[in-house]
Amino acid sequence: MAGGLASCTLSDEAKLRAANRASTNAWRKAGAILRNTEAPRLADQIFSVLDFGAKSDGVFDNTHVFARAIATCYEAGGGRVLVPAGNFFTGPIHLLSNVNLHLEEGAQLLFSTKPADYLPPVFTRWEGMELMGYSPLVYAYKQQNVALTGKGILNGQANEMTWWPWKGGDKWAKPGFATQAKARAQLEADVEKNRPVSERIYAENSQLRPAFVQFYKCKNILIENITITNAPFWLLHPVMSENVIIRGVTCASLGPNSDGCDPESCKNVVIENCYFDTGDDCIAIKSGRNADGRRIATPSKNIVIRGCKMRSGHGGVVIGSEISGGARNIFAENCEMSSPDLERGLRIKTNSVRGGLIENIYFRNIHIGDVQTAVVIDFNYEEGDSGINTPHVRNVEVRNLHCKNAKQVFNVRGYERSPISNLHLLGATFEKAEDIGVIEHVDDFIAKEVLVQGKPFSI
């Protein structure tokens, strides 16, 4: 423990009162976000895909059938495109304004694993960088009032022999499969050179896997009750979108980079009552990577996460690392997370290559069972302090946190030149902990009513 730390003493009571006032005002803002983020209002008319020739044998290619049903619904003023029970094989699905793609219970969309089916390339974002790439499996661009609902399953059918080997590395590489390494490095170089996005064509033979569900520059979005599994890459990825509700969704995919829900450069987002069992971060707030994030300069803001459950994953509720555009006014409450395979509970990850301002982050009523590290704010992620874009993190509060078993309690590391500012830990219990961990380069740190293995925490 080192670097500009201050515990809460009697002389700090004024600071504590100020922190409590700020917290009360912040959570009022969260309430306003909840009230003002409304689901899209769509027409009642129904368009069954069966009426357009859909077949549920799991073999017939329904791609064009779904496209016709969606187009007809759109042209009629909107409504519900109904997918009944059955197994429907399909390629990419592109949604249009005022359309709700609704999967009845027992319905399963089986997505093609042939990369060529996701061409021609579309305007998309991959790990925080804009490009012309493979179409996401479910995609909407510059649409409004769009929904993806129902108790059905979206199955990307990705596995150790399809999509996932493109990740490469010791765990995922397979003989005979190319990997993403070359294309990823070239895309990063294009971003740093500010090459026009129209010229960043990374589709055929690029090995940059598509997101599962991506709504790009859309407004008024509802994703509700569906189950998403076996994803090629990130599962739910709204980008530069506004008024987004994600409710009652199950994200279950243990492949590489299987982030559950990654709102990127979005505002007014509600994620509630969802379940995550993922191969990467369960929820990760993002806003662009490196030069692209700074060029677009659109932070993620006004996001409320509540009532969610997390199991396996690199992190439960995460901010970063593609956070160059910044993040502010992020709230998470009444969430539960636990798994021997859960690496981190609450996590902010950045570095001096990413940069960005992260501020006004509030967690409360968080219950963690088993986790490797409970609370992480790390300025040394991946490239570490090797850039010129110093990150800034301020006004982070964790209130009423209960953790049963952590291998490490803290990994909190700012920079000496850019300390984490106003970190408040108020009412936290860590029942078992093998190691306290590290807290360094933090200004205005308040720890009040914090117990570690039954003993008051002190610095």
- State how far the alpha carbon of 283 is from the alpha carbons of 123, 257, 278, 367, in Å: 23, 12, 10, 16
First to last CA, the chain: 7
- State how far the alpha carbon of 47 is from the alpha carbons of 43, 44, 80, 421, in Å: 11, 10, 6, 54
Query: Which among 366, 418, 416, 373 has a CA at the least distance from the CA of 391?
Result: 418
Q: How far is residue 407's CA from residue 435's CA, in Å, rounded to a whole number?
A: 6
How does DSSP classify residue 173?
Answer: -
Tokens of 278: 């993922």
**DSSP line for 211-252:** PSEEEES-EEEEEES-EEES-SS-SB--BS-EEEEEES-EEE
- Pairing mode, strands 455-456 and 442-452: antiparallel
Q: Could you give the residue numbers annotated as active site?
A: 280, 314
Q: Is 165 helix (H, G, I), strand (E, B) or coil?
A: helix
Query: Which among 260, 353, 349, 356 has a CA at the least distance from the CA of 301?
Result: 356
- The DSSP element (H or E) to which 15 belongs, if any, is helix 13-36
Contact 192, 214 (CB under 8 A): no
How does DSSP classify residue 39?
Answer: P
- Pairing mode, strands 283-285 and 213-216: unpaired
Q: How far is residue 59's CA from residue 182's CA, in Å, rounded to a whole number?
A: 34
Q: Is 286 helix (H, G, I), strand (E, B) or coil?
A: strand
- State how far the alpha carbon of 122 is from the alpha carbons of 144, 162, 255, in Å: 18, 21, 24
